[in-house]
Amino acid sequence: MITQEKYRTTVKELLASGSVKMVIGYKPGSTPDRRRPLFIRTSEEADQLVLDSTCMTNLSGYLVTEGLLSDEKRVGIFLRPEGIRSINILAAEYQLNIEQIVILGFDSTGRDVRPLEGRNAGDFSGLLSEIKEKPVQTSKEPLLERIEKMNAQERFDFWQEEFSRCIKCYACRQACPMCYCRRCIVDSNQPQWINTSSHTLGNFEWNIVRAFHLSGRCVQCGNCDRACPVNIPLRLINQRMATEVLDGFDHFAGLSPTQEPVLASFKKDDTETFIL
């Protein structure tokens, strides 16, 4: 509660001083444990701000809304550490100018919410490095462990079961801050690489391709997972890929706003044990 009150004041100050034109935060949602985005332009709107442990959504995707940043004015945004990583990636991929973003950082343990020190992306580099070295979730999710222990056929069966429920609503894509493409590959029909009908086959292709496009870019904010109406554990695939690029290329997505995209760069001595 104290954090929320402090931040309400901060937001008002930021708006009053004119240092930001808008702050993106959270307000109450349809149920007590749900939050929806709040776009604060006035002091009154700031009073609606809610900041507690249920504020899970990674809001960074709103920053790349067409035209929002084109007037070169600054925008404030509430971000958890994953959200800060997201805007670093968006900056590294030239989707936004990091100088325009004022970060109102927060994190939570249990029900406690605490603010994070700093306002600019650069202020959090120490924090992000710490997370890279010592991931918060040290214990693996039991489900992920279970999948990793399966053989190929069991794994295929598991995902077939999961993906069979997919209805190709693309909520995962809409929720993901990294899915900023003007045209998604699934919507490209010349040629139609991915079956758009929601057969399991097309669902397989869609989810594999999305995971590939997120490799080295996903920060595991969980937006896709929460958005999925049929509860496919999408986070698991993305987690697995994050581990792959971290182990393989020492790449921790979103460590800095100038990080090179892992799949657009290479090292001559990258591992290649799998190549015959």
Partner 1 sequence: MAKIGVFICHCGENIAAKVDCTKLAAALGEHPGVAVSVEYKYFCSDPGQESVKKAIRDNNLSGIVIAACSPRMHEATFRKACAEAGLNPYLCEIANIREQCSWVHTDGDMATAKAMDIVRSMVEKVKRNNKLQSIEVPVTRRALVIGGGIAGLQAALDIANAGQEVVLVEREPSLGGHMAQLSETFPTLDCSQCIMTPRMVETAQHPKIRLLTYAEVESVDGYIGNFKVKIRMKSRYVDMNTCTGCGDCMTKCPAKKISSEFDCGLGKRTAIYTPFAQSVPNIPVIDKASCIYFKNGKCKMCQKSCQLNSINFEMQDEFIDLEIGAIVVATGFQVQNTAVYGEYGYGKFPDVITGLQFERLASASGPTAGKILRPSDGKEPENVVFIQCAGSRDPSKGVRYCSKICCMYTAKHAMLYAHKVHGGKTHIFYMDIRAAGKGYDEFTRRAIEEDEASYVRGRVSKVWQENGKLMVRGVDTLLGKPVTVAADMVVLATAMVSQPNAKEFAKTIGIAYDEYGFYNEAHLKLRPVESSTAGVFLAGACQSPKDIPDSVAQASASASKVLALFSKEKLEREPVIAVNNEATCAGCWGCVLACPYNAIEKKDIRDRSGRLIKQVAYVNPGLCQGCGTCVTFCRSNSLDLAGFTEKQIFAEVMGL
Partner 2 sequence: MSEPFEPKIVAFVCTYCTYAGADLAGTSRLKYAPNVRIVRLPCTGRISPMFILKALQKGADGVLISGCHPGDCHFTHGNYHARRRWMVFRALLDFTGISPERVKFSWISAAEGGKFADLINSVTEEIRNLGPFDQYQQLIKETESPATL
User: Would you call 204 helix, strand, or coil by DSSP?
Assistant: helix
201 binds partner 1 (CB under 8 A): no
CA atoms within 13 A on the CB side of 84: 25
Over the window 76 to 115, marking each residue x when it contacts partner 1 by CB under 8 A and - when it does not, the resulting string is -----------------xxx--------------------
Site for partner 2 in 211-270 (CB under 8 A): 211-212, 215-216, 237, 240-241, 244-245, 248-249, 262-268, 270
Over the window 7 to 26, marking each residue x when it contacts partner 2 by CB under 8 A and - when it does not, the resulting string is --------------------
Site for partner 1 in 17-46 (CB under 8 A): none
> What is the distance between the alpha carbons of residues 6 and 11, in angstroms, rounded to a whole number?
9
- Nearer to partner 2 by Cβ, of 114 and 266: the residue is 266
Strand order across the 101-109 sheet: 35-40, 22-28, 75-79, 101-109, 112-115
Cis peptide before 191 (omega within 30 of 0): yes
> What is the distance between the alpha carbons of residues 14 and 49, in angstroms, rounded to a whole number?
14
> What is the distance between the alpha carbons of residues 265 and 185, in angstroms, rounded to a whole number?
22
183 binds partner 1 (CB under 8 A): yes
> What is the distance between the alpha carbons of residues 217 and 252, in angstroms, rounded to a whole number?
8
Site for partner 2 in 135-174 (CB under 8 A): 147-148, 150, 152-160
134 binds partner 1 (CB under 8 A): no
With contacts defined by CB under 8 A, name the span among 16-24, 131-139, 168-176, 206-214 that binds partner 2. 206-214
Given the DSSP bridges, would you call strands 22-28 and 101-109 parallel, antiparallel or unpaired?
A: unpaired
| Contact set with partner 2 (CB under 8 A) | 147-148, 150, 152-160, 192-193, 195, 197, 199-202, 204-205, 207-209, 211-212, 215-216, 237, 240-241, 244-245, 248-249, 262-268, 270-272, 274-276
